[in-house]
Amino acid sequence: MKENDNLQEKVAIITGGGSGIGYGCASYLKEAGAKVAIFDVDKASGERARRQLGLDAFLAGDVSSSADCKRAIQELSRQFGHIDILINSAGVIRRRSVVDLTEEQWDLVIDVSLKGTFLMSKYAIPIMERQGGSIINIGSGWGLKGGPKAAAYCAAKGGVVNLTRAMAIDHGPQNIRVNCICPGDVDTPLLRSEALQLGEDEVSFMSEAADRPLARVGTPADIAKAVFFLASDLSSWVTGAVIVVDGGGLA
């Protein structure tokens, strides 16, 4: 790895880092030399991830809370002195149509995925402006096309995709790059929970999820590799981009 390809001395904050894609990103970026802090509402999984991966910090909090997001950014900025990378990975899904969704379920999905991305970026960008930085939002293939019984999730992830573009325009002059990765089905607790929500057999559900040109579901490491590209100087002229990492599913 060339010197400018690694993340030595970079500080990365990852929301939803206690499990799934966020956990995979934390592991990969730590190995690449970054100082990694995770922010997760689940204290048990966050502490476990910190211990297992040897991370530099874990803060418990809710990404849909302005006060929690502001506190997290302030505390981590004081601890590390700067923030170079923000990965907005926290998300939830409720497999319902608009008719079947409750208002509370709609609010939960929108607040965690979309509002959480807004709030963490709102407080991180003024810190990043000092030296530039990279914000990587985790969207979804269903942010680019529709999906069945996932109205709130599709709306939230579609919002994340276009919020990414707007932020890239606004903050490019401060050398802050903002990009979005749209994964396909990745083997995470979130994906497996969908089988339960839909009342389907988990084995059959996961088998159907693998029905794509590369004939498998993704792994958190598959997404983390794309995150590393966008976090590093390898992507120094990439901003406002939406990168699909889905084994060919959208194709």
Active-site residues, by number, are: 153
Alpha-carbon distances, residue 53 vs 41, 62, 185 (angstroms): 18, 22, 24
Residue 61 and residue 68 in contact, taking contact as beta carbons nearer than 8 Å: yes
Residue 135 and residue 124 in contact, taking contact as beta carbons nearer than 8 Å: yes
The angle, 0 to 180 degrees and rounded to 10, between the axes of the packed helices 43-53 and 20-31 is 20
Residue 124 and residue 73 in contact, taking contact as beta carbons nearer than 8 Å: yes
Which residues touch 78 (CB under 8 Å, ≥6 apart)?
Answer: none
Q: Which residues in the chain belong to E strands, given as ranges? A: 11-15, 35-40, 57-60, 85-88, 133-138, 176-183, 242-245
Evaluated on CA atoms 71, 118, 44, 14, the torsion sign reads negative
Residue 19's closest CA among 118, 120, 111, 91? Answer: 91
Cα-to-chain-centroid distance, residue 31: 18
Task: Match 């709306």 to its residue by tokens.
Answer: 155
